[in-house]
Amino acid sequence: MTARTNPVAPDRAPERAGFDRRLIAPMILGAVLNPINSSMIAVALVPIGKAFGAPPSRTAWLVSALYLATAVGQPVVGRLVDRYGPRRLYLVGTALTGVAGLIGMVAPSLGVLVVARVLLGLGTCAGYPAAMSLLRHESRRTGQDNPGGVLTALAISAQTVAAVGPTLGGLLIGFGGWHTIFAVNVPLSVACLVLGVRRMPRTAAGTTTGGLDLPGMALFTALLTAVLLFLMSPRVGDLYLLPVAAAAGAGLVVRELRATDPFLDLRVLGGNLPLIATYGRNLLTFTVSYAWLYGYTQWLEESRGLSASAAGLVLLPLFVTAIAVSALTGRRRGVRGKLLVGAGTQIAACALLLVVHPGTGTWLLVTVAVLAGVPQGLLGLANQNALYHQADPARIGSSAGLLRTFTYLGAMVAAAASAAAFGPGADTAGLHALALVMLASAALLLVVVLLDRSLRRIGALAGAASD
């Protein structure tokens, strides 16, 4: 027996000692479900509107419904991941994603499609918090604070891959109609379930104990829902949502300060100013990013006269550039440099939009996409890495979920800005007005980065932890 076991032990020991790379596939696939669904719909709004005879004001709910469900659900599901562990939440969420895909495939009306998008938003909530929780689990198990390049791979999948959504969506629509952007969730869901069952460890238990703060979760949901509903279509008739949000916010503060195990630990969060700054940067980052994704795409189709497939191809350089930039810079520990370069190139790209018009040559449209891909590849990665080092390890799931909430708050601001700029149609004057809003957000992001001195310490901390 000794002769049989000794040769095997050296082969298995390194696997137990190092990061379990079998986890990378389910982590990345689960994390990609939400951004790919949030971006594919950009090129499907026009054909869906034609299919159901619905104006843009109604098809916009296909975007807003997923954002609302995701923005509310991410930190809630993230807290459940902290409490019960990543595996079971991952499996439940990816199963729900497949069900939502099936409903969307056969939806007989726009209302049913909106329901499918809500379910997609809820189902895809678990992937990113579960992945961040698994990273922390592997960090504790192996003693490696930042497992070689895994955060980079996760950033590329969870943030950058959103840029491929319009291209993929355009190709799918060209192949089988708008139904295919829902159908693609079924095989993705099956793949996640198989990988999750076979590879995700049952031993990766939650990092917190005690009961769930259901009143805190309910008040948080009410606060965020009221804010997001107002941002979807800000108008005088919806001003009642602001006092509702204020009341829910006040109740949330009172509840969380008194709770022994709060859903949002406001004392810890309030004392963690660097983490709060990261959330603010993420909001500004994705205000600009989603204005590109939806505003620019709509302009390409309506004013430039491109088909959904052609618009997706014009945006392809953005995707390629973003992936390349993330891959080249991902292993660099510094966060501040990425943020500075990302904010600077974002300003340049937004300024370039001011000279775009319907007769603009394809070469300039491609140049705009390439330039916009640089911040797409840098900013999300930098904010994610900052959060990994700034968040309380026991609350990494809910902290990661809250980062995604600020992502979709930015998306809602972008949607409101796009609606105000375009009005009845995505014309060039509206695009230039939207570009000014984007330019202001990008400039504010640069100022926030310059003022945050804590960013200089993250690279040093990461280097010390990995030595």
Answer whether 179's CB lies under 8 Å from 105's CB: yes
264 vs 287: which has the higher pLDDT: 287
d(CA 345, CA 338): 11
Q: What is the mean pLDDT of the chain?
A: 83
pLDDT exceeds 50 at position 221? yes
What is the distance in angstroms between the CA of the first residue and the CA of the last residue of the chain? 38
Q: What's the pLDDT score for residue 13?
A: 38
Burial 431-465 (b: 16+ CB within 10 A, else e): bbbbbebbbbbbebbbebbeebebbeebbeebeee
163: tokens are: 């840029």
Q: What's the pLDDT score for residue 70?
A: 87
pLDDT exceeds 50 at position 11? no
Q: What's the pLDDT score for residue 8?
A: 39
Closest by alpha carbon to 346, among 306, 318, 365?
Answer: 318
Question: Could you report the per-residue pLDDT of 26-65, keeping only the tens digit for each?
Answer: 988 998 898 888 888 878 888 998 899 888 778 888 988 8
Residues with Cβ within 8 Å of 391's Cβ and at least 6 positions away in sequence, in order, are 272, 275, 399, 400
pLDDT exceeds 60 at position 460? no
294 secondary structure, DSSP code: I
The phi-psi region of residue 112 (left if phi > 0; otherwise alpha if psi is between -120 and 50; otherwise beta) is alpha
Q: Which range has highest mean pLDDT (130-134, 157-161, 233-237, 456-460)? A: 130-134
Amino acid at 447: V
Answer whether 186's CB lies under 8 Å from 101's CB: yes
Question: Could you report the per-residue pLDDT of 351-407, keeping only the tens digit for each?
Answer: 999 998 888 888 888 888 899 999 988 998 889 888 888 888 878 888 888 888 888
Q: What's the pLDDT score for residue 181?
A: 93
Report the Cα 323 to chain-centroid distance in Å: 15
* Tally of CB atoms within 10 A around 136: 21
Amino acid at 164: V
Question: Could you report the per-residue pLDDT of 287-336, keeping only the tens digit for each?
Answer: 998 888 778 888 888 888 888 778 878 888 887 888 888 888 877 767 89
The phi-psi region of residue 18 (left if phi > 0; otherwise alpha if psi is between -120 and 50; otherwise beta) is beta
Average pLDDT over every residue of 274-292: 91
Task: Tell me the residue ranges of DSSP E strands in 41-145.
Answer: none
Question: Could you report the per-residue pLDDT of 103-127, keeping only the tens digit for each?
Answer: 999 999 999 999 999 999 999 989 8
User: Kindly report the CA angle at 418 between 228 and 35, in degrees rounded to 5?
Assistant: 65
Average pLDDT over every residue of 147-163: 67
Q: What's the pLDDT score for residue 313?
A: 81
Q: What's the pLDDT score for residue 248?
A: 94
Q: What's the pLDDT score for residue 163?
A: 64
* Tally of CB atoms within 10 A around 208: 17
Residue ranges of alpha helices (H) inside 106-212 are 110-123, 127-142, 150-158, 165-176, 180-183, 185-199
Residues with Cβ within 8 Å of 272's Cβ and at least 6 positions away in sequence, in order, are 390, 391, 392
107: tokens are: 């939806």
289: tokens are: 């990013």
Percent of the chain's residues with pLDDT above 70: 89
Q: What is the pTM of this model?
A: 0.76
